[in-house]
């Protein structure tokens, strides 16, 4: 079986961040929206560093204005992701970009996304679940309506609550209200931490937000006590190596700590984060893990088993996906 055809699970993607540049370009043209110079000469997204990436990302999002735009986006993303063997994917969706935190509007966007997900499941054999996401650099107050949207729509499609955005804005504890609201509604939790903020940010995130998973978490490698806490609390890291390399959270693939984390006993999985921004796919991630660290089929099977075990889906879905991950020969 080719690397591309191998069945895969990815738990850390951002729905808007999966939008191909040509898709955003076409929407901007259709709607006559000036999104500024967000593309390079090759038609790819152009950004200098993480802060600039967030600005370009948000500029691209201004073209996504209606539930219908999100329906088209979801279909396009799932067709492309399924072509790389992904059979189960979790994606972050932000009420901020889907109706500005208004609950009624959010429900309309969600219905369109779920509709497309159902259609894509039938057509392409990929299952999608959504994690409602607050945007950290929009501030603690803006995260509250996002958490309320999560609490009110938790169910078959929305399976978790999380936070993305500028990690160095505020401290994790500033966002505890939103995480508490989501937890009290029964949602499992994840939060971006340790992409930029090191082991201290991971430690505070676990302490103050009581998450089940951490987005990235690579900074934990700096502190053995934090690694031990991650292991003891059975927290799983959603590692996105290609994203880390392009955004320069690490110097290059060879110095990425994913092997050290795994060898230290931490549960790691691999995802693409925002694939067109980082010129990556799940096929490319696996290919680079093979080239850089010599990872083989057994390592990838282990990654996928860890991922489906830590997925926020219901048990029937977990059982069904686990079966589809089993080696065929």
CA distance 46 to 38: 6
Residue 245, CA distances (Å) to 37, 49, 93, 222, 248 in order = 23, 11, 24, 18, 5
As measured in angstroms, the least distance from the Cβ of 107 to ligand ADE is 23
Active site residues: 195
Q: Which is nearer to ligand ADE, 91 or 283 (CB)?
A: 91
- Residues forming contacts to Zn ion in the complex (CB under 5 A) are 273
Instruction: Compare residues 80 and 238 and give the one whose CB is closer to ligand ADE.
Output: 238
Task: Answer with the entry of Zn ion, ligand ADE, none that 218 interacts with (C-beta below 5 to 8 A by kind).
Answer: none
Q: x-or-dash pattern for ligand ADE, window 230-269, by CB under 6 A?
A: -------------x--------------------------
What is residue 9's three-state secondary structure? strand
- Minimum Å distance from CB 27 to ligand ADE? 19
Burial class (CB in 10 A: 0-12, 13-18, 19+), 263: exposed
Residue 203 touches which of Zn ion, ligand ADE, none (Cβ within 5-8 Å per kind):
none
Structural contact between residues 91 and 15, judged by C-beta atoms closer than 8 angstroms? yes
Q: Which is nearer to ligand ADE, 195 or 212 (CB)?
A: 195
**Residue closer to ligand ADE (CB basis): 10 or 274:** 274
CB of 192 vs ligand ADE, minimal distance in Å: 5
CB of 271 to ligand ADE, least distance (A): 10
Residue 270's beta-bridge partner residues? 239
3-class SS of residue 235: coil
Question: In the range 285-324, which residues lie near ligand ADE by CB under 6 A?
Answer: none
**Interface residue with ligand ADE, options 101, 165, 217, 219 (CB under 6 A):** 165
Q: Which is nearer to ligand ADE, 169 or 320 (CB)?
A: 169
Residue 164 near ligand ADE by CB under 6 A: yes
Contact between 241 and 270 under an 8 Å Cβ cutoff? The reply is yes
Give the 3-state secondary structure of 24-52: HHHHHHHHCCCCCCCECCCCCECCCCHHH
Q: Within a 13 Å sphere around the CA of 99, how many CA atoms are in the beta-carbon half? A: 20
- Dist. CA 157–CA 291, nearest whole Å: 36
For the segment 17-76, give every residue that binds ligand ADE (CB under 6 A): 17, 57
Count of CA atoms in the C-beta half-sphere (13 A) of 234: 4
Tell me the CB-side half-sphere exposure of residue 156, using CA atoms within 13 A: 8
Residue 17 interaction partner, one of Zn ion, ligand ADE, none, beta carbon < 5-8 Å per kind: ligand ADE
Closest distance to Zn ion from the beta carbon of 164 (Å):
5
Residues 176 to 205 in contact with ligand ADE, rule: CB under 6 A: 192, 195
What letter does residue 107 receive in the DSSP assignment? H
Shortest CB 196 distance to ligand ADE, Å: 8
- Picked from Zn ion, ligand ADE, none, the partner binding residue 197 (CB below 5 to 8 A depending on kind) is none
Between vectors from CA 280 to CA 276 and to CA 282, what angle results, nearest 5°? 120
Q: Are 306 and 269 in contact (CB under 8 A)?
A: yes
Residues near ligand ADE (CB under 6 A) are 14, 17, 57, 164-165, 192, 195, 243, 273-274
């Amino acid at each position: 079986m080719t690397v591309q055809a191998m069945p895969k699970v990815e738990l850390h993607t951002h729905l808007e961040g999966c939008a191909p540049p040509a898709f955003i370009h076409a929407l901007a043209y259709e709607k006559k929206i000036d999104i500024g110079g967000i593309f390079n000469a090759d038609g790819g997204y152009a950004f200098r560093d993480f802060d600039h990436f967030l600005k370009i990302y948000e500029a691209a999002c201004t073209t996504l204005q209606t539930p219908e735009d999100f329906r088209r986006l979801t279909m396009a993303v799932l067709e492309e992701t399924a072509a790389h063997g992904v059979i189960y994917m979790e994606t972050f969706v932000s009420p901020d970009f889907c109706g500005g935190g208004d609950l009624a509007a959010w429900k309309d966007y969600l219905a369109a996304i779920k509709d497309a997900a159902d259609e894509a499941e039938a057509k392409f054999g990929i299952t999608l679940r959504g994690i409602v996401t607050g945007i950290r650099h929009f501030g603690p107050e803006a995260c509250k309506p996002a958490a309320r949207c999560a609490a009110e729509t938790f169910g078959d499609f929305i399976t978790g609550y999380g936070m993305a955005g500028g990690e160095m804005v505020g401290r994790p504890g500033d966002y505890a209200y939103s995480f508490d609201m989501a937890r009290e509604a029964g949602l499992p939790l994840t939060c971006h931490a340790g992409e930029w903020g090191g082991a201290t940010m991971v430690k505070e995130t676990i302490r103050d937000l009581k998450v089940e998973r951490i987005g990235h978490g690579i900074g934990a490698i700096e502190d053995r006590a934090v690694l031990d806490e991650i292991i003891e609390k059975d927290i799983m890291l959603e590692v996105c190596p290609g994203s880390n390399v392009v955004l320069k959270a690490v110097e290059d693939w060879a110095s990425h700590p994913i092997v050290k984390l795994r060898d230290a006993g931490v549960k790691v999985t691999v995802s693409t984060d925002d694939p067109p921004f980082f010129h990556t796919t799940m096929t490319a991630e696996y290919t680079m893990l093979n080239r850089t660290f010599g990872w083989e089929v057994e390592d990838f099977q282990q990654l996928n088993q860890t991922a489906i075990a830590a997925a926020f889906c219901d048990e029937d879905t977990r059982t069904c996906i686990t079966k589809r991950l089993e080696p065929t020969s």
